[in-house]
Structure 1
Amino acid sequence: MSDVLISAAELAERLGEVTLLDVRWTLADPDAGRPAYLAGHIPGAVFVDLHHELADPSQPATEGRHPLPPVERLQESARAWGVRTGRPVVVYDDSSGMAAARAWWLLRHAGVSDVRVLDGALSAWTTAGHPLEAGEVRAEPGDIELAYGALPVLTADQAAAFPRVGTLLDARAPERYRGEAEPIDPRAGHIPGAVSAPATGNIDASGGFLEPGSIRARFQELGVDLSAPIGVYCGSGVTAAHTLLALAAAGVPGALYPGSWSQWSNQDRPVATGDQP
């Protein structure tokens, strides 16, 4: 396995050696994660609330819908989850890593060096016949010290200029990129110069990540120069982390624009529509 993904088989072997985090969340039903967790989760997993613990309160006009939380608050949360210095962390969800990738990226950005996402999500675990347990896990408090800066981020101004130095990827659905539909944010379209690369294209039919070679081939077919800088945005900085995880699994670094379209479309910035950058 890569150093950012872990298989269900490997997790089963290492279950007692890692801090395990359940990050079930979807934009369509943001409060459904905890009840699902309480009904059944991988043994030892602690529930993480993406909306309240992996993001600051929504500030669309200035920071976007899911701003990065202050590192002090993230550290407090991570210690409550049991994250400890030198102990590996594994995160999972039930949506092919779309939510878990946010926890992966945020913890890596904050300096936790060994964080991996369960490849194939919870279904990979249950399909393999591994058990679930019900109820809530209360972890022994951790001692992790966090500081942002381990991974690159882009401001809105840097995202605007990015297509001149590399490739800016838009990880949202194609119809939102083209400006045909915008169910959440005030304006439809995309950042001028950005290339459409829906995050759903990072996974295969089973819900697991594409193999590294296939990931590289996918982005090269989109016209991405993998040796040049790559930036990624989405609606609010959550789904973009999934694309950064896929790129990392293929050995390709990238930068996140955390404010993403939710910030951009709330400001007086240019908007492009159609299927071309």
Structure 2
Amino acid sequence: METLIDVAGLNARMTAGQRTVVLDVRWALGDPEGRSHYLKEHIPGAVYVDLPTQLADPADPGRGRHPLPSLARFQEAARSWGICAGDVVVAYDDAGNTSAARVWWMLRDAGVRTVFLLDGGLAAWRSAGLPLEGGQVEPETGDVTLGRGGMAVTDADGAAGWSAGGVLLDARAGERYRGEIEPVDPRAGHIPGAVSAPTTGNLDDDGRFLPPEKLRERFTGLGVDATTPTAVYCGSGVTASHEIAALEIAGFSAALFPGSFSEWSNDPSRQVATGAEAGQ
């Protein structure tokens, strides 16, 4: 199953008039102006997706900063973006797909198999000299019916014991993993036994995913192989989705801990480790 589509592939679909739902998922921690960026300019026909309100429930200490929304809420959002049964969906952002991967993972989990990330995102589209437009796109309501369970997940109890028989990857920046800084969550550090694997290591200097062989080399170096169960967490389950996409490109599958460290660190019964784990 393909994870990515490149700019040439998306442009060819659009030029040929092939039905394609394009989703703009611009969001970043500390930057609440995603919609404003979208209104200024976006890929023609792209529909804005608001990550905090459409791809998450309100923050809950017991579920994390971006809990997965109910199936009913997510289906309502997906239909508002114009998604119909059988559609090809392409998601992008302006940060190497670190936020767009959230909707990619959620649609995959919901049973949409023809959903792709635009490799390089908006920057790659701009670099290719392709047109942009401004303003709000209001699509006709779609009819897609979503499910749940298409992607593997784990919870806090699963994450607690994961490293005993598998590899638990922490997709946050290394300094947050080590506990040197923690800008948003109540405690600094990482889940004991987790391996530091910052999401930024999945991308080249242009914000495109590394080639499959390079990603495979990266992850095997962190202990991942086809027979070892792998799970991923981050701060709130957003960039961990990007890591799962990178693992898929490399030929591996992995479970997501949706609540991630924001859920874990809010539970005083959960231990938090600091510093570098042995061998890192």
Q: TM-score range by the shorter chain?
A: over 0.9
Q: CA deviation at 1:205?
A: 1.0
Equivalent position of 1:242 in the other structure: 242
> C-alpha root-mean-square deviation of aligned residues, in Å?
1.0
Checking the alignment, whether the CA contact within 8 Å between 1:39 and 1:134 is kept in structure 2 is yes
User: What's the counterpart of residue 120 of structure 1?
Assistant: 120
* 1:235-274 → structure 2 map (5 Å cutoff): 235-267=235-267, 268-274=269-275
Asked if the contact 1:3/1:116 (under 8 Å) is kept, the reply is yes
The one-character-per-residue Cα deviations of 1:66-118 (angstroms, maximum 9, x if unpaired) are 00000100000100000110011000000000000001001111111111000
Partner of 2:38: 37
- Name 1:58's counterpart in structure 2: 59
Map residues 203-214 of structure 1 onto 2, 5 A cutoff. 203-214=203-214
What SS does structure 1 have at the residue aligned with 2:66? coil
Q: Name 1:75's counterpart in structure 2.
A: 75
Q: Deviations over 1:184-242 (max 9, x none)?
A: 11111110110000000000111100000000101112233343111000000001001
State the Cα distance separating 1:169 from its structure 2 match.
0.1
Equivalent-residue separation in structure 2 for 1:155 and 1:123 (angstroms): 35
TM-score normalised by L of structure 2: 0.96
The residue type equivalent to 1:6 in the other structure is I
SS of alignment partner, residue 163 of structure 2: helix
Structure 1 residue 245: Cα displacement: 0.6
What corresponds to 1:4 in structure 2?
Answer: 3
* TM-score between both structures, scaled by the size of structure 1: 0.97
Aligned to 1:187: 187
Q: Which amino acid aligns with 1:235?
A: G
Structure 1 residue runs without a partner (length 5+): none
Q: Distance in 2 between matches of 1:148 and 1:41?
A: 30
Residue by residue, what CA displacement relative to the aligned partner does 1:158-179 show, whole Å, maximum 9, x if unpaired?
Answer: 0111111210000001011111
- Report whether the alignment pairs 1:218 with 2:218: yes
Corresponding residue number in structure 2 for 1:141:
141
Deviation at 1:140, TM superposition (A): 1.1
Cα distance in 2, alignment partners of residues 129 and 262 from structure 1: 39
Give the Cα–Cα distance (whole angstroms) in 2 for the partners of residues 207 and 195 of structure 1.
Answer: 23
User: Is the counterpart of residue 196 in structure 1 residue 196 in structure 2?
Assistant: yes
Distance 2:93 2:184 in 1: 23
Question: Are 2:178 and 2:274, in contact at CA under 8 Å, matched by a contact in 1?
Answer: yes
The range that moved more, 75-84 or 13-22, is: 13-22
- 1:102 aligns with 102
Find the residue that maps to 1:91 and give its secondary structure. strand
Contact 1:166 1:225 in 2 (8 A): no
SS across alignment from 2:231: strand
In structure 2, the gaps of 5 or more residues are none
User: For residues 223 and 103 of structure 1, what CA distance do their matches in structure 2 show?
Assistant: 27
Contact 2:230 2:255 in 1 (8 A): yes
Whole-Å Cα distance in 1 between the matches of residues 223 and 105 of structure 2?
Answer: 25
C-alpha distance in 2 between matches for 1:222 and 1:165: 14
- What is the deviation of 1:131? 0.2
1:92 and 1:117 in contact (8 A); partners too = yes
- The question of whether the paired residues in 1 share the 8 Å contact of 2:230 and 2:253 is answered with yes
Aligned-partner SS, 2:137: coil
Q: Which amino acid aligns with 1:276?
A: E
- Residue 42 of structure 2 aligns to a residue whose secondary structure is coil
| Poorly superposed stretches of 4+, deviation over 6 Å | none
CA distance in 2: counterparts of 1:199 and 1:105, whole angstroms: 15
